[in-house]
Amino acid sequence: MNFLSELREGLFIAWDSLRANKLRSALTTLGIVIGIVTVTLMGTALAGLNAAFLKSISAIGTDVFFVAPWQWFSDEPWWKMRNRRPILLADARALVRQTTFARATTIDASRRMTVRYRDLSATSVNVSGTTEGGAEVGGLVLKEGRFLSAAEVEGARPVCVIGADIAANFFPYESPLGKHLRVEDQNLEIIGVLEKRGSFLGMASLDNEVMLPVTKFVSDFSFRPPVMIRVKVRDLKEMDEAREEIRGIMRKIRHLAPGVPDDFAINEQAAFIQTFDRMNSVVAGAGLFITSLSLFVGGIGIMNIMFVTVAERTREIGIRKAIGAKRRAILTQFLLESALICLLGGLLGLAFAYPITLVMDRFMPAALSASLVGIALLVSVATGVIAGFLPAWRAAKMNPVDALRAE
Amino acid sequence: MPLIRLQDIWRSYQMAAETVHALRGVSLSIERGEYVAIMGPSGSGKSTMMNLLGCLDTPTSGTYELNGTDVSHRDDNELAEIRNREIGFVFQTFNLLARATALRNVELPMVYAGVSPDERREKALVALAAVGLADRVDHRPNELSGGQRQRVAVARALVNSPSILLADEPTGNLDSKTGVEILALFDELASKGNTIIVVTHEEKVALHSRRIVRILDGNIASDEQVRRVEGRESRFEGKPAPDPSA
């Protein structure tokens, strides 16, 4: 009860003194405003980057295993891994045949090649061999036509499915279906066009692509190329069993004796996310540390002005103490005042930061989340309490006789 | 049992290398309902005396019993509570909060006593009415005359019903006419049974009281009753001061 009435009184005084010193309060608050703006924007940017990454990475699919000789983001030195035997088509087909947890599988091999249509040509197109499962495993959506069939893969037919960029560049005014692309000395009939997919991690475009049966790719474009197997698991709950099964089959296919370490790797999306998270936490830590320095400077400004305020109001403190204010009451009064300044700064900072995040949203997914708003306000109040503590304590332990004598 | 009992009070200050004794073994008793003036030239120790009586300060040695409890060695917070409950201050410079209305100034002691807002307002209005300021409750100190400010201070001092009204040169910043008004107010309060201690160096002010304690060089030089004769005040000489050890 007593504390409540002191609290109310403290709030009243704090508000009154802010109004009495408008310019000073505004200038002091500015430091906190800037601090909160930078911290909030940094937080929003980091969250945005994270969201952008996760969106991009979702192209990989959480339920897909990538079986290849090399591990993603491995700690093993590259010069050891580079000597691993490649996986060849026959091995891959054996694996695909034996695995039991798969909803769909595909075997891929690819090369950058030049693709022609009449007198047009495109260099460095990602020409990849795949199988009929490629559409399901990769989550491909067709804009026109159909994907490769099992029979076409089996018979190594000269057909292909093209990416959105190839279609747009070679066939701006007509349907590509039924036309023939020329890759090296082979003519490939276009049977399907993919929807636009964008890019992976902002680097490789996924639309600059020609897909054909892997059997055709192996026989005509590359001699014994290394392939990668992708296995989409039936059920996310079976990921662990599926991984173990694939591992067993692969060891058998590659004739690894017990005790010999795997010379292949079963990769999944989680590895990407793990690596990103590790990197992200370092960036986030460094970024927030640097921006929080500005908040720290703001806090010093608050401390400074609170010392001035306490000195100016020495007599008032004396009066209050003579009348019966305990240390706690005086301490609360000044802490509330500095917390209130900082809370106002936090609110103003958020008001400035909000339109900026709207602009940021044009370049990356950025949104001022409710939790970030809560944290920003909490941090500003905490800054006020911490910065105000020393001045408030000085006020609280003033001797009433001396304070009353002050002019 | 006296309201105030000082026994062999010493108060010393360390000034650079030397120790200054502001009070040197003062003993004094004041009964409930007395109206006492404490007089003395500057440097006599009367300010120290007033700080001690008001529990703003503690003695270096000796005991101070207020209302039967020893208050000579309490800490900051305990003293604040005692001041809040037992003592109402009236200062020479009024010491009102400049930015607060008369009403809020009078409410202040009750804020620290934890009185509810409604009760606070009610009591403060009564206290202001009692000093004749019912129509000035929403004025700030700078909108009030000196006499009115001092009345607000008196209302603030009395609102918590303290044991003692402790006034330090209450008319020092007032012209003689308003000074007389304030003193008349004190007389009225004294006649209603309030215990009043006025610290002053003005004889005219002191003569309103019923007992004058003179302090000189940190000690009590004299302690006399004031006798009133047909509206004129004069001092009654020769009556011994109440023995503090009695």
**Rounded mean pLDDT, B69-77:** 91
Q: Which residues contact A79 (CB under 8 A, 6 or more apart)?
A: none
How many helices (H) and strands (E) chain A has is answered by: 14, 12
pLDDT beyond 80 at B218: yes
Contacts of B83 in chain A (CB under 8 A): 322-324
Residues A324, B80: C-beta atoms closer than 8 Å: yes
Given a cut of 90, is residue B231 above it in pLDDT? no
Rounded Cα distance between B179 and B185, Å, is 10
Tell me which chain A residues have a C-beta less than 8 angstroms from the C-beta of B77.
Answer: 326-328
Contacts of A400 in chain B (CB under 8 A): 56
Q: What is the pLDDT of residue A343?
A: 93
Whether residue A1 lies within 8 A of chain B, CB to CB, comes out as yes
Instruction: Kindly give the residue spans of alpha helices, DSSP state H, lying in chain B.
Output: 46-53, 76-86, 102-113, 117-130, 146-158, 176-191, 203-206
Half-sphere exposure (CA, 13 Å, Cβ side) for B235? 15
Structural domains of chain B ordered from first start: 34-48+84-235 (3.40.50.300)
CA of B188 vs chain A CAs: smallest distance (Å) = 23
| Closest-approach residue (CA) in chain B for A1 | B114
What's the pLDDT band for B196 if we cut at 50, 70, 90? Answer: very high
Question: What was the pLDDT predicted at A387?
Answer: 94
CB pairs under 8 A between A and B: 70
CB contact under 8 A, A327 and B80: yes
In angstroms, the separation between the Cα of residue A20 and the nearest Cα of chain B is: 9
For the cut 70, the answer to whether the pLDDT of residue B238 exceeds it is no
Copy the structure tokens of residue B103.
């009403």
The verdict on A270 touching B (C-beta cutoff 8 Å) is no
Taking the model in full, what pTM does it have?
Answer: 0.73
**Where do we find the tokens 């309201």?**
B3
The domain locations on chain A are: 2-56+274-405, 64-267
Residue B80, both tokens: 């604040």
Q: Determine what percent of chain B is predicted with pLDDT higher than 90.
A: 73
Q: Do B84 and A323 touch (CB under 8 A)?
A: yes
Mutate which of B76, B81, B94, B104 to test chain A, going by most A C-beta atoms within 10 A?
Answer: B76
Q: How far is it, in rounded angstroms, from Cα B246 to Cα B243?
A: 5
* Cβ distance of A322 and B95 shorter than 8 Å: yes
Token pair for B59: 């003695």
Q: State the Cα torsion B31-B35-B40-B46 to the nearest 10°.
A: 60
Chain A contacts of B113, Cβ < 8 Å? Answer: 2, 324
Q: What is the pLDDT of residue B165?
A: 95
Label the pairing between strands B219-229 and B211-216.
Answer: antiparallel
pLDDT tens digits for A285-333?
Answer: 898 888 889 889 999 999 999 999 999 999 999 999 999 999 999 999 9
- Position A354 scores a pLDDT of 92
Residues in chain A: 407
Residue B94: pLDDT above 50? yes
Contact B66, B41 (CB under 8 A): no
User: Beta partners for B234?
Assistant: B227
**Beta bridge partners of residue A251, listed in sequence order:** none
* Selected residues 297-336 of chain A with any CB under 8 Å from a CB in chain B: 315-316, 318-329
The pLDDT of B133-146, averaged and rounded, is: 94
Per residue in B30-56, pLDDT (tens digit) is: 999 999 999 998 888 888 999 999 999
pLDDT value for B230? 47
- Determine whether the interchain pair B95/A319 forms a contact, defined as Cβ–Cβ distance below 8 Å: yes
Q: What integer is the mean pLDDT of B213-241?
A: 71
The model's pLDDT over A127-159, given as tens digits with 9 standing for 90+, comes to: 999 999 999 888 888 999 999 999 999 999 999
Segments of chain A with pLDDT less than 50: none
CA distance B80 to chain A (A): 4
Nearest beta carbon to residue B56 from set A320, A329, A401: A401
Of A20, A318, A324, Cβ closest to residue B84: A324
Q: Does A76 touch chain B (CB under 8 A)?
A: no
